[in-house]
Amino acid sequence: SPTLRQRLRDAEEEAELLGGEWPEIPRVYHDAIRRFWPGPLTIVVPRPPCIPLAVTGGAGATVAVRLPAHPVARAIIAACGLPLAAPSANASGRPSPTTAAHVAHDLQGRVPLIIDGGACAVGVESTVVDAFSPTARDSLGRLAPCVLRPGGVTVEALRSLGGDWALGLRVYRRDFACAALENAPTTPGMKYRHYSPTAPVLLVAAGPAQRAATRAALCDLHARDAATKIGVVALDDVDAPAGCALIVHRVADARDLAHRIFALLRELDETDHVDAIVVQGVDDADEGLAVMNRLEKAASRVIAAPPPASA
C-alpha cells in the first residue's frame, strides 16, 4: 500500500541520517530487508521492550519478524497500526493451508472469521533466518547466519547478498545441529514430524532410478498394506500395479512442487480419501531445499532411489 511504501521510505531516510543504520535491526539484515521485503523472509531480531513476552511464549531475548507481500495482509497491518502476532492458521502438524478453504477445514467452529485473500502465491512458508542470536555464531564465535527453516527465499538468493551471507550461511539440520533448538524449537515446522496428512506419505528421493523406486514403493504398498487407492505426486510417468487405482498429479519441477505440494496433499487426503500418498522428491537446490524440508517431515518413510545398475 502507499502508506507502507512511504513508511519504508521514511525508515530508509532515517537510517541514512543515522549513518545507514536501523538501530532496532542488526546491520547484517539491512541488505536482506532491502532485497526481500515485503516478501517471504522472516528475520530473528532482538525483542524490543514493546513486544510482550507472551509473543515469544513467555521467554526469549529474540523475536521473529516478517513484512508480508500480500496486499490484504499489508492492509490489515496498516489499518491496525501495530505489529501483529498470531499463530499459523492450521492445526499443529497438518499440511499448511494455502487457501481459505483449507483454513476452514482445519479451524471450522474455532475462529469467528476467515478473510479470503486468494490462494498463496509461493506455496511453502517464509524462509526464517537467524543472523543475531548465539545460534548464528560458529564454534569460534564468528558470525555465521543460518537458515532455520528454508522457504520462499532460497539459500542461493540469500548468498547473492554477499558478505557474511555468502561466506558463512548455514542450513539447520543440513549443515549443523543444535540441542537447544531441538528441545525448544524457535521456528514453526522445526519439529521432526510436521505437515502430515492423515494418509501415510512415502517420499521417493531424487535419483536416476527414481521411477523404478516409485513403482517398487507402489507395489509394496499394494501388497503389504493392501492399499488399493494411492495418490501420487510425480515428476515422471508412473505405472500402476495390477489391481491398484492411482490418482496421479504431475508437477513440472521443484518450483511447481513447492507451490502446489500442500494443496495436493490435502486434495488427495481430504477429497480423494486415498489409502496412501507417494511423492517423488527433487534435488535440494533452490526451491527444492524448502519443499524437501517439508516432505521429509511429512513422510512416514523416505525411500532412497537405488543407483542404476552398472553396465
- Feature table: binding site for L-threonine: 66, 86, 126
Binding site residue list for ATP = 62, 88, 96, 149, 195
CA pair distance 29, 161, nearest whole angstrom: 10
Residue type, 115: I
Residues in the chain: 311
Q: Are strands 127-130 and 245-250 parallel, antiparallel or unpaired?
A: unpaired
Query: Which residue from 18, 28, 22 is spatially nearest to 7, judged by alpha carbons?
Result: 22
Joined grid coordinates for residue 222? 499394494
The interaxial angle of helices 2-17 and 71-80, nearest 10 deg, is: 70
